[in-house]
Structure 1
Amino acid sequence: MGKRYDTSLFWDEDDGDRVYVQGALYWRVKEGIAQLEIDLETGASLSGEPKPIWSGTGRPIPEAPHMYHKDGWYYLLVAEGGTELDHCATIARSRSVWGPFEECPHNPIIHAASKDAYFQTIGHADIFQSLEGQWFAVALATRDGRINFPMGRETVLIPGQWEPGSWPAFNARVESLMKTSEDSPPPPPQINENVLENFVHTETGTLWPHNLLRLRNPDDETYQFEDGALHLWPSAKGDTLDGRFGTPTFVARRQTAIECTTEIEITLAEDRSVVAGLSVYLDFGSHIDVVLTRSETKPGLEAHIRQRTPAGASPGTASVPVDNGALRVVAHEDRYEFFGWRNGAWVSIGNGLAKDVSGGFTGVVIGPYIEGPASNRSDHAKVAVKKWLYSEVA
């Protein structure tokens, strides 16, 4: 497809099982949707160069095409408006897969209900019919997409109607719980996850849990799972979470609910030049960390909050004495609360705002990290994560 993106396959079962590929033209050159027919065995084009078939409704950046054949019509669904507050889905139809396509008079058929609706930036949609005959759309959206959306883009399910020979209609306001005429699926199980129990030993090594992430090209030498604990060493090059490049030692789980709690217990390295803790991480320029250190003036440990925003590093909070390496972060819709353990109870270390880790396409991940001098692989520089729990409220 050349300089195309958001490609989609369409099997035309009513026309000899022909297979077509639609894709968005590179919008910096020319906006629109192009198509070609392909040989499914070789992937080669059977129709020459990609042919433009629809340029959208005039909104910017038509992309994410999907083709449907229904009631003698070829329907072409696209996203328009970019992926921010003007994001939406529009549709057109033709009697031929090659067009010309006529625009739906009710476009956009999927969009945010209003600028003050809880779900914003709704678009990049697809349409399907359930086994019971109910029509649905799935689309990308962000919660409160103007300010607080630390989980990034999520997938929403929207009920609708598609009468024979007519246009699909999805007029329902997108809510966190959608109402349909069909029986609702069972609620997802309550998540109370012991992350360390998900590591699996095999004859060839340790299998990491599929839902844990590390940054960029991780250095496996700085991670070791042994005797039920995850052992971490500083990056061989001294990389930190603030770095645009490099491979800091950091492992995290996606935040998958607005309200959730992450709790870890670590044994801090004896080397005072090594720091470790728990990070709420969006990217190198947007993260909030609780930092655990050895006190410079007295025996014991201290914890404080440091924060990085696109404007730069924010002043850290005052250090709070803690009894051990038990750390907790509680996520709320608009903030994160950080805690340490002292005198048999959780004590506040500080707070961070959800808006400071909101932005872009992806969401927050939360997990332990370690930072220290380069090439420090001694046992004195090692941190052991002995407990890691993740639970969700909603």
Structure 2
Amino acid sequence: MSSSATNPIVPGFAPDPSVALIDGVFFLVNSSFHVFPGLPIYASRNLTDWTHIGNAFNRQSQLSLQFSDTKIHPQADGTTMLATGGLFAPTIRYHIAIGTTYVICTNVVYPEDGGDDICQNFIVSTKDIWSDVWSDPVSFDFRGIDPSIFWDDDGKAYICGSAAPGPMTKIHLFEVDLSTGQKLSEEVKVWDGTGGIYPEGPHLYKQGQWYYLLISEGGTWKGHMITVARAENIWGPYEEHKDNPILTAKGTDAYVQCTGHCDIFRDQQSHWWGVCLGIRMRGEKCIMGRESFLLAGEWPEGRWPSLQHVTPEVRDRRLQLVVQGPPIMPRHDADLLYLRNADLAKHKLQGSTITLAASRADISQWSEPVTFIGKRQRSLSGVSTVTMEVPQQATSFKAGLVHYKDEHRYARMFFDSEACEFVFELVNKAKSIARSERRKAGNVDLNVRFKVTYTEQELNFAYTLGGEEVSLGPVDTAELSGSDFVGPIIGIQLVSDDSSCEVVFHDLHVE
């Protein structure tokens, strides 16, 4: 094995990572916000190669994403923050004595009446993480986000989390019965953080006689940082580390910015590592959003933890010591994504063929289900393609290929049957961007191939009909970049007022 690893270890839409070591395999979970299935689970034997093996939220009956829309928040510096509801900042933990894996998370609901956000906190669990069979959620009472589980030496279970509302949230702690969600103690504020906005993403660890509380502060953009405090009693008082923050890219010209929301863990050799989110950023261009990065750490007993800066490559001889094993195979179709509470009956999969039944609602809104299926963009530079059978029917429809972040930001290319045209659209409501381009289709008695080619700088759309390729666009990636929670998804969609309209697609390929 090499003594280096390529960062990000999970590229694309992969924020807020958390890791657990289970029977010699590392498992990582991410936030998923507005997509189903959610809470993706990745597995690795070597910390370098990560495979998508399932999703902890994989049945629509587990919870609802109906009100996981995206809010546009203007910032003081003239930019905007786009905050998407849904599944925030999960933590994965394994209880070796009972052989159970837990994922704890918050479903943030944005009420239709514009009232305060509703934080639906829950725990799901499994006895066999490879099975992809997870329990129904066990709810617990906590008005806040980013809960994390900690077991003390006496077997008692605790939850710490970021108590709402922001921006000056507080870190709270309480004892809990994980099987029922019942609180077994009062909820106690244990730390305010060091003064940065949005103290959140807490994780509690114990080393020797000390309890260590690791949190994120500064917001999840360029001020993001990791700070730590410790106490000899789990309830505090917590003493701040004099060298805080122990991780940040704030004020630097590093390529990987916004580093934060970190979880630290030990490998089989008791070496310390961290995973955190970060954003690959060149000027205003950061099309991939928040991704998962690996970093080496040190934590001598009785001392404070330290973490390396995040770089595009991790160089550490300890990677050679991580236990190897046979390759891990991905779970079939685990990476396919739908938006919010999709009508799954309108998406039929058979081998490499996908048949879509039309929705009346379009991706430009969130309140109604849409017909869309896609995958996370994983490559900074790549090509995604799909072939569409053009229906020979009188009904009007719009169908094609979409590069999607949320209802406010997307670029797409589709066939408009009523106008008999191919259409390109770019929309970013947060930046007041809206433009389109149309081309007459000519003979459409043939299959059409849609393609989007992307680099860090630009997206280029094209369609091929009858052997002729026609380009549309392009899109400067800065036009779809910005401060947000989510990442790019590339997929196919179908819109029509005729609910009986169906369109067949073949070989959806997303890099």
Normalising by the smaller structure, the TM-score range is 0.7 to 0.9
Look up the match of 2:172.
34
Distance 1:138 1:227 in 2: 35
Does the 8 Å contact 1:280/1:288 carry over to 2? yes
Q: Does 1:337 align with 2:337?
A: no
Q: How many residues align?
A: 360
Hey, what does 1:249 align to over in structure 2? 371
**1:145 Cα deviation from its structure 2 partner:** 8.1
Query: What's the counterpart of residue 150 of structure 2?
Result: 10
| SS of match in other structure, 1:356 | helix
3-state SS in 2 of match to 1:239? coil
* 1:118 and 2:228 correspond: no
- 1:127 maps to amino acid: I
Label 1:182 to 1:239 Cα distance change in 2 as closer, same or farther (>3 A). same
Query: Which residue of 2 is the match for residue 205 of structure 1?
Result: none
- Is 1:75 the equivalent of 2:212? yes
Given candidates 178, 187, 211, the residue that maps to 1:50 is 187
Is 1:305 aligned to 2:427, yes or no?
Answer: no
Q: Is the 8 A contact 1:304 1:350 kept in 2?
A: no
1:266-321 deviations in whole A, cap 9, x for unaligned? 0123336212110001111111011224595xxxx642311111155623124165
Task: Say whether the 8 Å CA contact 2:361–2:369 is kept in structure 1.
Answer: yes
Would the aligned equivalents of 2:427 and 2:435 in 1 still touch at CA under 8 Å?
no
Distance 1:46 1:233 in 2: 49
CA distance in 2, matches of 1:328, 1:29: 42
CA distance in 1, matches of 2:344, 2:466: 37
Greater alpha carbon shift after TM alignment, 109-118 vs 27-36: 27-36
Distance 1:267 1:96, change over 3 A: same
Contact 2:161–2:201 (Cα < 8 Å) also in 1: yes
Contact residue 287 and residue 487 of structure 2 kept, 8 A:
yes
Structure 2 residue corresponding to 1:23, chosen from 132, 139, 161:
161
Do the aligned partners of 1:18 and 1:37 also contact (CA within 8 Å) in 2?
Answer: yes
- Bigger RCO (CA 8 Å, 6+ sep): 2
Gaps of 5+ in 1: 199-208
Partner of 1:106: 243
**RMSD in angstroms over aligned alpha carbons?**
2.8
From 431, 435, 448, give the equivalent of 1:325.
448
Amino acid at match of 1:307: L
The aligned amino acid for 1:315 is R
Report the TM-score when normalising by structure 2.
0.64
Q: Which residue of 2 aligns with 1:269?
A: 391
Shift of 1:327: 0.9
CA distance in 2, matches of 1:41, 1:162: 32
Residues 97/284 of structure 1: CA separation in 2 closer, same or farther (3 Å cut): same
Residues in 1 aligned to 2:440 and 2:315: alpha-carbon distance in whole angstroms:
47
Contact 2:168–2:197 (CA<8 Å) still a contact in 1?
no
* Letter paired with 2:471: S
- 1:100 Cα deviation (Å)? 1.3
Is 2:302 the partner of 1:177?
A: no
TM-score, normalised to structure 1, is 0.82
On the 8 A contact 2:225/2:260 being kept in 1, the answer is yes
Aligned-pair identity (%): 29
Answering whether residue 231 of structure 2 is matched by residue 94 of structure 1, we say yes
**Deviation (angstroms), 1:338:** 1.0
Contact in 2 for aligned 1:268/1:382 (Cα 8 Å): no
The code of the aligned residue for 1:304 comes to V
State whether residues 320 and 349 of structure 1, in contact with CA within 8 Å, keep that contact through their aligned partners in structure 2.
no
Q: 2:281 aligns with which of 130, 138, 144?
A: 144
Q: Name the amino acid aligned to 1:35.
A: L
In 2, distance between residues paired with 1:321 and 1:104?
A: 64
Q: 1:228 to 1:257 in 2, by over 3 A?
A: closer
CA shift for structure 1 position 33? 1.2
The alpha carbon displacement at 1:344 in A equals 3.5
Change (3 A) 1:43 1:318: closer
Task: Show the counterpart of 1:215.
Answer: 339
Gaps of at least 5 residues in structure 2 are: 1-140
Distance in structure 1 (CA, Å) of the matches to 2:180 and 2:506: 51
Counterpart AA for 2:173 = Q
